[in-house]
Chains A and B, each alone.
Chain A
Amino acid sequence: MKTLMEIKKSVLISLWFILLTFPILVVRVNTIENVVEWRWRNMAFIGIGSFLLSFAWRYLLGRKERGRKLAEAGSGETRPLSQRVLEDPRIYRPALAAVALFALAFPFLFSSYQTNIMTTALMYVMLGLGLNIVVGLAGLLDLGYVAFYAVGAYSYALLNYHFGLGFWAVLPVGALLGVFFGILLGFPVLRLRGDYLAIVTLGFGEIIRLILENWNEFSFGPSGIANIARPGLFGLKLSLHEATVYLYYLMIALCLFTIFVVNRLQDSRIGRAWIALREDEVACQAMGIDKTKTKLTAFALGATWAGMVGVIFAAKTTFINPASFTFLESAMILSIVVLGGMGSIVGVILGALLLILTPEYLRAFSNYRMLLFGTTMVLMMVFRPQGIVTNVRRIYKFRTREDRGEPSQA
């Protein structure tokens, strides 16, 4: 019987995982007191968990296979129900209004601490949207995105420290430095293929971090820079709470700005060129698109946002050090883009909010934050590579020659 076979398979899988995780999950060695701790409860969790999950895994994989076979047979892709629901103006207009109202009222409904968390989430929304240009639209796997983030943060910290420049003065500088470094780091990697590009950008990210950590004369090394000025509001002195709220609204404004710009870019000649580049680099060139210029533009524009968020980060936490700019940050931002759906603005926003807020609000989960990121990346790639929000192509309104009042061709 089929179910019996499946149960047998799952039992075997469960046993396998129990054995596999035994040393690391069950045994804990305390070398100071010279005792060994045996955590048998973990074994039970693994046993039951893997048993159940193996069923889920098999089912979901089967569903994916069936879906793929249907697509290959050419049954075409109908827009999923959730998509059609989202696009119905009668639904999304009031929903959007409600969200907007909630967002605006947030600092007055919740504490300073909560507002701070929201601000962080919004920062990741902006970072995700920026990386989305590079990875989601242009298909360039940039694993060193954190480098631009660090550039922005350190530029503000240093300019503030050495010259007393304020937040508003440095924000555009952060953006410009982002563009500059985007081109600088993008140039050497133009010819590289997908995975090599990924590794080189990872290398760049790490090199920048290591330089910041070791070049003490320039960056003050691992101890970082403290007492960075918060964003000013016409020179008013703000209390901690007021500053937090101020920063929150600032982030909302910047996010809206980012969404606006990214939306415009996506739906333009350059946006289409990026997608063509992602889909087929050779064919894209054959259609007259300059691959070098297109790639550099993607890098530069993507980096701009990271640069700006870097400035905000420095202003928000008032203390930065190289430890905040590790590869793990880049990986986190990548997992946001992957979860959200490459190229989808709404998806990235949802992905950022989900991945950043979940560990915060489910306090039990917060230790498992990075585990969550890792798992998300694997699961999304295996089961839903298109992301939680599928990027649906735009429908254009075209006019034939008659519509335009021109004489039609014979």
Chain B
Amino acid sequence: MDYFLELLMGGLTRGSIYALIALGYTMVYGIIQLINFAHGEIYMIGAFTALIVASVLTMNGMTGISVLILASVVAVLYSAAYGFTVEKIAYKPLRQAPRLSPLISAIGMSIFLQNYVMLAQTSDFLPFPNLIPDLPFMEHYSHIISSAELIIVLTTAVVTIILTLFIKFTKIGKAMRATAQDQEMAMLAGVNVNRVISNTFIIGSVLAAIGGVLIASHIGRINFYIGFIAGIKAFTAAVLGGIGSIPGAVLGGMVLGWTESFATGYVSSDYEDVFAFCLLVLILIFRPAGLLGRSTAQKV
């Protein structure tokens, strides 16, 4: 029974990270119908930035939770900046182009960023300091769930709630929803579409960075390639839940996290990544609208 709970919690944790990254995918797709291939790299850059900042700080004597906070803040800022810049360079010039062009551009950007980090830093795995503090009251449950895992899940929950409230009640959120529904009409109604799109990328990148810092802390090491795998899996989660839907991204993340956790726990751990890819392929073929999405008919 304990094993089951452990897998359950593990799946929840994984799912939370996937959800954080998936939110970025789903929001961007909802607004400009683009699969932001480079999003996984933003997550990776967030983790790297946090690592660099944390290392510099600890080498200069700082310890404790302030390192975590500073590293996270810087990582978030930088990821937002990267997301913003990538959009301006690789996607904005292609707004009017046929659908395949920005996708190819996104793939190119993804490869570029991976190799940029690899060449600038290293291709090895870098150890990531454990920044997440151990919560004393968690000792009882440490066989099922660790402090880090709890923090990850809670953070994700809080962030998702904030995001939902933001989208629903703020002016920017309203503008984002309008642009997602009908870009031209939103523009005619006075919405600064360029800014809305930039904001979407920024918010998505912020979430991915949070995920990056958390998971890097938890797993303890990162390299330039983690963005690719996490990106694909998060995209799977986004599609599973219904691309363009925020609750869908979270739901999809959880389903994927649990699927992976239980499959690797009870079936086989070698084929871990295969589960995600198979799930992705199956959903796209049989139910591309996802769990919470609605299939839209194409007007001929």
Contacts and interface: CB of A to CB of B under 8 A. Distances in A.
Interface of A: 16, 19-21, 23-25, 27-29, 31, 34-36, 42, 61, 64, 139, 141, 143, 188-189, 191-196, 198-200, 202-204, 206-207, 210-211, 214, 282, 327-328, 331, 334-335, 338, 367-368, 370-371, 373-378, 381-382, 385
B109 A374 contact: yes
A327 B227 CA distance: 14
Contacts of B277: 203, 206-207, 210
B1 interface: no
A371 B85 CA distance: 17
B110 A207 contact: no
B232 A202 contact: yes
Interface in B94-114: 94, 97, 99-105, 107-114
A210 B273 contact: yes
A27 B52 contact: yes
15 contacts: A23-B48, A31-B126, A61-B93, A141-B100, A141-B103, A188-B281, A192-B285, A192-B288, A193-B99, A195-B34, A198-B103, A203-B280, A371-B116, A381-B105, A382-B90
Given A192-B284, A195-B99, A199-B235, A27 B56 contact: yes
Nearest to A279: B98
B133 interface: no
Given A23-B49, A210-B271, 13 more contacts: A23-B74, A28-B120, A29-B52, A42-B120, A196-B288, A207-B277, A370-B111, A370-B115, A371-B116, A373-B111, A374-B110, A378-B112, A382-B93
Given A29-B56, A36-B56, A200 B284 contact: yes
B201 interface: no
Most A C-beta atoms less than 10 A away, residue of B34, B82, B273, B284: B284
A196 B103 CA distance: 11
Contacts of B114: 370, 374
A376 B271 contact: no
B119 A194 contact: no
B52 to A, nearest CB: 5
Contact of A331 (B51, B59, B111): B111
A283 to B, nearest CB: 10
B45 A203 contact: no
| Chain B binding surface SS class | helix
A328 B271 CA distance: 20
B153 interface: no
A34 B59 contact: yes
A143 B107 CA distance: 10
Which among A141, A370, A374, A378 has the highest number of chain B CB atoms within 10 Å? A378
B112 A20 contact: no
A303 to B, nearest CB: 17
Given A29-B56, A371-B115, A381-B94, A24 B35 contact: no
Contacts of A204: 281
Contacts of A27: 52, 56
Contacts of B48: 23-24
B119 A367 contact: yes
B232 A24 contact: no
A28 B285 CA distance: 44
A195 B35 CA distance: 7
Nearest to B105: A381
B78 interface: yes
B291 interface: no
A61 B284 CA distance: 36
Contacts of A34: 59
- Pairs of residues from A and B, 9 with the lowest C-beta to C-beta distance, nearest first: A377-B108, A374-B112, A374-B111, A378-B108, A29-B55, A381-B105, A203-B281, A370-B115, A371-B115
Contacts of A28: 120-121
Contacts of A376: 108
Most buried by B among A143, A195, A368, A385: A195
Interface in B253-275: 270-271, 273-274
A202 B273 CA distance: 13
A291 B33 CA distance: 24
Given A27-B56, A328-B111, A211 B49 contact: no
Given A36-B55, A375-B108, A24 B271 contact: no
Nearest to A201: B281
Contacts of A189: 285
A143 B105 CA distance: 13
Contacts of A207: 274, 277-278, 281
Contacts of B101: 381, 385
Contacts of B112: 371, 374-375, 378
A221 to B, nearest CB: 9
B119 A371 contact: yes
Contacts of A370: 111, 114-115
Contacts of B110: 374
Interface string B276-299: 011011001100100000000000
Contacts of A19: 81
Given A194-B99, A198-B103, A378 B270 contact: no
A191 B288 CA distance: 10
B117 interface: yes
Contacts of A334: 104, 107
Nearest to A327: B228
B53 interface: yes
A195 B103 contact: yes
Nearest to A326: B228
B111 A377 contact: yes
Contacts of B281: 188, 200, 203-204, 207
Contact of A368 (B102, B119, B285): B119
Contacts of A378: 89-90, 105, 108-109, 112
B103 A24 contact: no
A316 B48 CA distance: 39
A373 B55 contact: no
Nearest to A369: B115
Most chain-A Cβ atoms within 10 A of its Cβ — which of B49, B100, B120, B228? B100
Given A195-B35, A200-B280, A207-B274, A381 B288 contact: no
A335 to B, nearest CB: 7
Nearest to A210: B274
